[in-house]
Amino acid sequence: MERLSGLDASFLYLETPNLHMHVSMASVFDPATAPGGYSFARLRDRVSARIEGPSVFRRRLVEVPLRLGHPYWVEDVDFDIDYHLRRAALPSPGGMAELAALVGDVCGRQLDRAKPLWQMYLVEGLQDGRVAVITKIHHATIDGASGAELLGHLFELEPDPPEYATVHGDASDATSGGASPSHHGHGGSGPNDHGHGGSGPNDRPPRRRGLGVPPDYVVLGRAVIDRASRPLEVSRIGWHTGRAVVDMMRARRAAPSPQARGALPLTAPRTSLNTAITPHRAVALVSTSLDDVKAVKRVIGCTVNDVVLAMCTGALRQYLLERDELPAGPLVATVPVAVEPSLARQMRGSNKVSAMWVALPCHLADPLARVEHIRAGTRGAKEQHRALGIDVLVDWTEHASPNLFSLAVRAYTRFRLAEHHRPLYSLVVSNVPGPDFPLYLAGAEMVAGFPLGPITDGAGLNITVMSYRGVLNWGLMACPETVPGVWDIARALGTALDELMAVTGVGSSTPAGISPPVPAGAPAGPAATPRARARRASPATAGAPEATGTRQTNGTLSAGTRQTNGTRQTNGTRQTTGTSATRQTSGTRQTNGTSATRQTSGTRQTNGTLSAGTRQTSGTRQTNGTLSAGTRQTTGTSATRRTGGTRRSGSSGAPAGAGPQEPQTAVPPHGSLP
């Protein structure tokens, strides 16, 4: 029996029905290297044998009565491998979009605290005969660095190592169940139909004997002893925290420039990233070349982490520009950092990680200026983090009250308080070093591993990247109602790298990994859900700027032109989804009034004067060779579609003096893939 540290337990207290505090990994394997080919039975047996070692896979939580202290880990004597190891399959065509959709569905479900806090999905049906493994484990159990080490224990260093049955003894009795894969995102066949394999009770590995759950009086007694020393400890921590804050302020004053002072929490500008989240999760997976990143690093003289942050900054700048919400100042990213080994040995528990805040200057147009800003900011953030010390956060979490902590978090979520104050930070960006040598599972070679971290209220995006054999694999986790364009951000990472390579003169980027960024002009990522569209449907602001690259020729919008103030132009068609459309007429743009207009053929020339909320056409109007004369007065809401000389009105303009009508909203189709 082992008590959780305060930092480990805090990840339990932070969890709500909308906020899931587990970390995940989507790994793709090529079974061509497996002796005898792929076999679910063999893979299941290997995984079952490998988890015999670490206790992390067989321990579960025991709460202290009345929640007077942090929970304890105990061995689960009723451990059932078939509950944790599940089988699934992707629908056709089995590409990265289908895999990402399944990962989002898996990550949108909380782990059962009555069981060991992990699950693993063995996924079949990928393109080229590949298979995937989706691992989900609670943050109270591991951090990023220990998660990478855990992968090293689960996986193998050669395709056909000695049989683990000779090492682990009774693991050789574990045989496969006859479950067939499910095509609905989680396993669903077998006798009990609970989403895991359908092996019978005689097929499961023998249970190990353990002490089981201790009596309540034992757990309660330990909690009372811990609480007895709390007043003295809190006094010591308060004094130490005050000194640490003074040291940090001195470090900020000693910074050579404002950029070198680093960022602070509660200084981030509000964007669409910073709203209350829902239980749903959307995932995007993309790969870039590590060699390209290192080439940029050598020219600029910064670190790989600086280039990674600069790529995130460039991608977010493009995303926010397209939505006309680029802030005037930098975003603030929370960047987890590993604790130095000397300090880590003194810390108890599974999580030995801290965090620093780094400014992401999305408002700067120059890519090199953004890198310089980030380089100075990360140096300052490290100095301030060193001055503040890791033990301040750890000490306070040790003495946090479970009841008070959980109550405060649930109230924060229930009342959507994240939307009523300045964001604590904008997003999380994490860079986890991975192995530069191949890993295998049941003989199948791992070709990519995409890490995924949790999101929180007020920060609906997490970007985590892990290196593996010369490739940076990016996993983006988001709330689809908050960040409907997570695939747009993923694709923009490649664009940001191309931009950095161009300005540094190191050539063009090289496609790498199994999920390189989709080139511009390719089909977009999965469409936003109806709920996502409904949440972000709001009146556009008159006079908002156009995106860079918009073209106008003699009052005619040409194919490929894109308007971001609620209007999109594609192949000569302008589609309006907002409540304030922009109309381009003879070089003049009118943004007042409520107008939703789509014109699919021809060029329209209008002479006269446009007034707010009113469309007036006088003189001669030409539409596909047909001349008409006269004057037309329209007041209120107008939703007009013009095709081949025929004019159709979905919500016709009301006569003068009539009140405004509800505009027609164009809804993009579902199912588009990245």
Residue with tokens 């009523």: 420
Q: Where are the beta strands (DSSP E) in 492-558?
A: 552-553, 556-557
Residue 139 is a catalytic residue? yes
Would you tell me the crossing angle of helices 367-388 and 486-504 to the nearest 10 degrees?
A: 110
User: How many Cβ atoms are within 10 Å of 571's Cβ, its own excluded?
Assistant: 9
The catalytic position among 84, 138, 139, 385 is: 139
H/E/C letters for each residue in 373-421? HHHHHHHHHHHHHHHHCCHHHHHHHHCCCHHHHHHHHHHHHHCCHHHCC
CB 464 within 8 A of CB 145: no
CB 633 within 8 A of CB 656: yes
Indicate the helix (H) or strand (E) that contains 601. none
User: Which residue, among 476, 399, 45, has the nearest Cα to 231 in the 3D structure?
Assistant: 399
For 483-486, which contacts have Cβ atoms below 8 Å and span 24 or more sequence positions? 483/272, 483/273, 483/282, 484/282, 484/528, 484/529, 484/532, 484/533, 484/536, 485/319, 485/322, 485/323, 485/525, 485/528, 486/282, 486/283, 486/284, 486/461, 486/525
Q: What gap in Å lies between CA 486 and CA 418, rounded to an integer?
A: 20
User: Which residue, among 64, 51, 59, has the nearest Cα to 78 in the 3D structure?
Assistant: 59
Give, in order, the Cα–Cα distances in Å from 623 to each of 79, 104, 594, 609: 74, 48, 23, 20
Residue with tokens 């932070």: 14
Q: What gap in Å lies between CA 149 and CA 435, rounded to an integer?
A: 10
Q: What gap in Å lies between CA 451 and CA 449, rounded to an integer?
A: 6
Indicate the residue type of 315: A
Q: What gap in Å lies between CA 466 and CA 649, rounded to an integer?
A: 52
Pairing mode of beta strands 427-432, 461-468: parallel
Output the CA torsion sign for 114, 119, 125, 126.
positive
Question: What are the catalytic residues?
Answer: 139
